[in-house]
Chain A
């Protein structure tokens, strides 16, 4: 079963995303900040990370993205960005992100976008 890590500081957003991911058979993990994300990622080796760019704390989403993408077997990374933050998006793609969704996003579009990541 594919592993997906949700990284978002907003607990309700994580909950909604988790429930959406459970439409399919995914093993879902969560982290609420950058440091937590790196810790879970190292331990669980997720296949894909849903990564909020804007998070409080010492490690931001872009740093998480850069660090994960420098691993020997990097996960696919799907960025979650706020509307109107195109500079985040650009920096995220620079940092190696594979795809992005702008919040608020359609759950079905999320499932499709994740599905496409497996085909690459």
Chain B
């Protein structure tokens, strides 16, 4: 704190002595600001602790939801890192991309409320089953959106938007093109590719090149064409990142680290 005192001395020694507080008032003012500073830091620390505990609880719940149809639970971790990487390549700020990494793993938390008979059903859904399944977006947003903390607001936005389609044929709102939040469009692409390239209880994983081809086919229909182009152009980077994640299995603490 005193490291700057020389600078202070050089540039501020010749202080005008008119319009200054009296010494006593100045000292009292310092006490006040000192206390304010302490409360400020204590508040921020307390807020961080609460947010972190809340985040971990919701992450665990997301993991529970994910484990219903992925026996490893790494899918949601991959969604976090891949969304961050895609956001960065799309020119989003590092802070925004980092927040996406932390929020995106929770986008499917609403699946916790979907009966296994529907969630794990092989083959086509009846219209009733389809309607049931589609509720997971709004359920997720409802679970996540009760917090005022920006991270969970973003997670709620993702939960709500990740099944919207570029052509307007998605759910729950049927939003079209730019009306879908960019974050939701990013996670939708990542989620599609990652879901295709993992084993599911009702099918084996698709090969990477097949999955990329399937993604390309959805360019401009399900997904934002620009995001698809950027994903395809950088596919090898994302695939390497995915393989790294599968090998190293980052923990929750690593996922939420600010580095």
Contact = CB atoms under 8 A, between A and B. Distances in A.
Contact of A19 (B16, B37, B41): B37
Nearest to A14: B12
Interface string B31-51: 001101100110000000000
Interface string A79-106: 0000000000000000000000000000
A52 interface: no
B36 A107 contact: yes
B21 interface: yes
Contacts of A40: 7, 11
A11 B12 contact: yes
Chain B interface mostly:
helix
A108 interface: yes
Interface string B132-151: 00000000000000000000
Interface in B32-73: 33-34, 36-37, 40-41
B4 A28 contact: yes
Interface in B86-111: 93, 95
Contact of B16 (A11, A15, A27): A11
A12 B15 CA distance: 9
B179 interface: no
A27 B12 CA distance: 16
B24 interface: no
B1 A12 contact: no
Number of contact residues on A: which range applies?
20 to 34
A36 B37 contact: no
A27 B5 CA distance: 11
B154 to A, nearest CB: 14
Interface in A11-42: 11-12, 14-16, 19-20, 22-23, 27-32, 36, 39-40
Which 10 A-B residue pairings sit nearest by Cβ, starting from the closest?
A11-B15, A19-B33, A23-B37, A23-B40, A30-B12, A31-B11, A12-B21, A12-B20, A29-B7, A36-B11
Given A11-B16, A14-B12, 17 more contacts: A10-B16, A11-B20, A12-B26, A12-B29, A16-B29, A20-B33, A23-B40, A28-B4, A30-B7, A30-B11, A30-B12, A31-B12, A32-B11, A40-B7, A108-B40, A111-B40, A119-B93
28 contacts: A10-B19, A10-B20, A11-B12, A11-B15, A12-B19, A12-B20, A12-B21, A16-B33, A19-B34, A20-B33, A20-B36, A20-B37, A23-B37, A27-B3, A27-B4, A28-B4, A29-B7, A30-B7, A30-B12, A31-B12, A32-B12, A36-B11, A39-B11, A40-B11, A44-B7, A107-B33, A111-B40, A119-B93
